[in-house]
Structure 1
């Protein structure tokens, strides 16, 4: 799809997970340029990564096994489960993906349209299929903001530290860190494979962090609350090369109300996570498994919302 066609189709932008419409009559040229028109920094991420020396494990899937809830190949296993509770206004539904990885580099990033930059979006399922993913979730929507440390697939894409991030290293360990105290080059030199920049951190040392229900996420419009019971996507770390992703559905009375930050953190501690970190949520929250979106995104009555990036395992 051309940049022009994408721009016309996206006269909406995100404010802390909420879509805000831009009408043609009221939107200034500046706003359209800043929030709608594509700004491509890297036009071919695959070529950029190859030229930068990115390496990673490619799974041998010739003997992959699969059921409705589990997929495994070459020592990597993805097990997906659905959790439902309550009824009426208290109904809740969320999806848990337990990942045991051959090594950390099995978990990769896919980019919308194979490009890196701002305002470039595709549906999670579209990016997943383009990368032959067997499992995927939406990422941190790096493309909505011009700041944030972004190392993906072992390559530095953005060096503009602004907040607390999470770094996944090639040796399998994971760290919460202050982006403003380091550089993308230093992270790569120290073995970082992927960094994500959204937040807040939810769990540290196996404990729910205090104050997370009061955190506001910085956006291009200043700090914006993402509190209350909302759809969520987040990642947790149980042990070396053992991760868990949770996607919570929400904004649908009788099906799923969503969760607060503290409730989300408590889900992760119940799963045994020692560390957990919040990713882009709201209408972006999407889990894809074996060819299908398995949750119910809250965007526009259940359709996916375009995002800039996904985390996936190729199958």
Structure 2
């Protein structure tokens, strides 16, 4: 293992223009293009000031990096190195792993995270707004929230389904797929969104949810059928199979998590991995539960002011709608 690849912060990159161009080329003019632009490009803001909304809902301020009921994220005793962060009994340790050779080389980044309070793992939305097609880079959202560590989230803004609970507040309740629930007591569970409600999950102590998938491990074993899962069936995201850049969350124990970002689509540096390959990585790290989230060009890890991984081998971030992060 070696030190992570770090690069200076680059200007924010908005992908709306690229998406608009691709859609315009691939669809006929007129109604189809207008529909596609509205569906995939034009921002639809439902909540313009999420921080204020969360404060009103929960009675506390969140998303600012200095919280009241979100654990001891901000601490004067923090010690930071190029690959680690320690504050009290919480710690983050980042490592780089490279396997294979030539065009079969795979490079991935691991963040081993121990929390003294599960609510120190927070979520934030691009532009502090909730809705569809609202994007910023992971680094930009992280810096806006005084994060020491962050990964891309589930890109909830690409779809209008799923259960979205963030920092204990409900934003969407449209169960559609396997979800991942982070509880205030430090437990993390895979669950069926269609068999419960967001209100019930919050009542049960859920702090954050992710809606993407699939689940990668069942009791520590590689889950069956994960190469055939389709998260969405709409245009542009019909399949997530093959060797791809990936982001995943794994659970080793209560308040002990592992986050993995696998780079891909860059022969000689990193080819990416299949869903089974990602599950095997999580298994090898000691996770008993693991969950796949948004990947491709969105797969990003951020630490202490810098981009850790090398998205698509180009050192450029693509916009996403949300992050998971730990504040300084």
- 1:30 equivalent among 30, 35, 40: 35
- After superposition, the C-alpha distances for 1:152-201 in whole angstroms (9 at most, x for unaligned) are 00000100000010100001111111101111111111110000000000
Aligned to 1:10: 16
Aligned to 1:304: 317
Equivalent positions of 1:1-315 (< 5 A) are 10-13=16-19, 21-23=22-24, 26=29, 28-53=33-58, 55-221=69-235, 224-298=238-312, 301-315=314-328
RMSD: 1.9
- After superposition, the C-alpha distances for 1:183-238 in whole angstroms (9 at most, x for unaligned) are 11111111100000000000121111011112222243397221111100000000
Deviates more, 1:56-65 or 1:96-105: 56-65
Deviation at 1:20, TM superposition (A): 8.0
Q: What is the number of residues matched between the two proteins?
A: 303
Distance 2:142 2:57 in 1: 23
Deviation at 1:69, TM superposition (A): 1.2
Post-superposition, which runs of at least 4 consecutive aligned residues in structure 1 deviate over 3 A? 24-27
Deviation at 1:70, TM superposition (A): 0.8
Q: Which runs of 5+ in 1 are unaligned?
A: 1-5, 14-18
TM-score normalised per structure 2: 0.88
Distance 1:140 1:22 in 2: 22
- After superposition, the C-alpha distances for 1:37-93 in whole angstroms (9 at most, x for unaligned) are 111111111111111115422424211101111101132100000001221111110
Distance 1:265 1:188 in 2: 28
Deviation at 1:251, TM superposition (A): 0.6
Distance 2:194 2:140 in 1: 33
- After superposition, the C-alpha distances for 1:91-126 in whole angstroms (9 at most, x for unaligned) are 110000000001110000011000010000000000
CA contact (8 A) 1:94 1:246 kept: yes
Q: Would you tell me which structure has more strand in proportion to its own residues?
A: 1
TM-score normalised per structure 1: 0.92
Q: Which runs of 5+ in 2 are unaligned?
A: 1-11, 61-68
Distance 2:34 2:268 in 1: 42
CA contact (8 A) 1:35 1:144 kept: yes
